[in-house]
Amino acid sequence: MVHKGEALRQLIREKKSTGKKVADHLGINRTYLSTLFNDPNLKDEYVDKACEFLGVSRQDYFEEVSVSGDSYTDKYITAMERVTSLQAENIELIKENILLKRTVEEYKMRFGELT
């Protein structure tokens, strides 16, 4: 999956712009822009300004972010499915625990406390 910083780099190339021009528009130097290309959590402030400069919408930018793999939405859905599965598993374990406790209590009532 392409992360936010890498998507910015790709967008600059696609729009046939240069890092220097984008960096100037963002009010940063070219070296700092290079570090942003490696930042998967690129700040929205930079995304918005770069999109404005390159003439693309945030939607187009975020389609680029998700182009080579699961989108953030897909990852969220997958994570929520896993949470749901774990919750169901937890419920089954709680039921099993309750049954075991009842069995132990019944055993104690029939045969007395174990020493």
What residue ranges do the domains of the chain occupy?
A: 4-65, 71-115
The Cβ of residue 12 has, within 10 Å, a number of other Cβ atoms equal to 20
| pLDDT for 1 | 65
Question: With 70 as the cut, is the pLDDT of residue 72 above it?
Answer: no
> What are the distances in angstroms from CA 64 to CA 18, 101, 112?
18, 54, 69
**Percent of the chain whose pLDDT exceeds 90:** 50
Helix ranges restricted to H, 1-115: 4-14, 19-26, 30-36, 44-54, 58-65, 72-111
- Mean residue pLDDT of the chain comes to 86
65 pLDDT band, cuts 50/70/90, is low
Top-tier CATH class for 4-65: mainly alpha
Residue 97 pLDDT grade (very low, low, confident, very high; cuts 50, 70, 90): very high
pLDDT above 70: residue 6: yes
